[in-house]
Amino acid sequence: MSTDRAVRHLRALFISDVHLGTRGCQADLLLDFLRHHDAETVYLVGDIVDGWRLQRHWHWPQSHNDVVQKILRKARKGARIIYVPGNHDEFLRNYLGTHFGGIEVRNSDVHETADGRRLLVIHGDQFDIVVRHARWLAFLGDWAYSAALTVNTYLNMVRRWFGFSYWSASAWAKVRVKNAVNFIGAFEEALAREAREHDVHGVICGHIHYAAMHDDFGIAYHNCGDWVESCTALVEHHDGRMEIIRWADAAMQHRSRPGRREAEPESESEAVAA
């Protein structure tokens, strides 16, 4: 896939909840996004690799390997890559402070924007009471979520057939079901409190697969979203302005633009090296 657009150069790029190693991972869309966006600093804000799922069933197609190779290539070209593990890739928390392939592993970090704001970067699972105190329930929820994604995949195949854009049943439910709304609000408030304790201006996190950017709790809250359903990323422009990019929507709009010339397909070797 290629949206045939120029590369955007950014100051910082934040990606979370890719879940490489699962069938729900939208690796092709992420690879397309990474081809069109470069940044001085790239933050991998947890759950990039799904160790939970890989322990039960190995699933690692070429597109997942291509994403890893693309990130490593960005590091080789001079981008600073910081990996902040989440609960699904918690095995990396055994390697905090180490570097591999040009990637730094940290439990959390403080990112300073171009306009001088300090933002705590953390995955956020530490503030999910289910993950912390009822891991069996977290695993059950992970299974149920995977099943829902399978249903959603087939639903969107039908929608594409009729020319409709991608639709996430989970995202729809999160903003309409009372318990989900209450959970999101409690999670955001907990992260805002943590940011205050760190004496910073805001927080950047992931974990709940719900991209958002607001200051409802008196401090800047940014959530990167995910690359399973919404296909979103958080970026910082060179003037310090923050933006959520919804790549599935952007790619759909570009593909449907009248008179657009299709890009020549890349060879497999070119796709990995890009």
Domain-located, residue 2:
no
Q: The domain spanning residue 78 has which CATH number?
A: 3.60.21.10
* Predicted confidence (pLDDT) per residue in 200-237, tens digit: 999 999 999 999 999 999 999 999 999 998 899 999 99
Which regions of the chain are under pLDDT 50? Answer: 1-3, 130-141, 143, 172-173, 177-178, 261-274
Name the nearest CA neighbour of 111 among 16, 192, 43: 43
Domain-located, residue 47:
yes
Dihedral angle computed from the Cα positions of residues 225, 18, 187 and 243, in that order, rounded to the nearest 10 degrees: -30
What is the rounded CA–CA span in Å between residue 23 and residue 188? Answer: 28
- Print the domain residue range for 206: 8-273
What is the rounded CA–CA span in Å between residue 109 and residue 115? Answer: 18
* Predicted confidence (pLDDT) per residue in 139-160, tens digit: 444 545 555 555 566 555 665 6
Residue listed under structure tokens 């095995």: 91
Domain-located, residue 3:
no
Beta bridge mates, 245: 233
Quote the strand ranges of the chain, DSSP E.
8-15, 37-44, 80-83, 99-100, 103-105, 109-112, 118-121, 202-205, 212-214, 220-223, 232-236, 242-246
Domain-located, residue 24:
yes
Domain-located, residue 226:
yes
Domain-located, residue 181:
yes
Report the domain count for the chain: 1
What is the rounded CA–CA span in Å between residue 25 and residue 250? Answer: 18
Q: Does residue 234 contact residue 243 with C-beta atoms inside 8 Å? A: yes
Query: Which pTM was predicted?
Result: 0.77
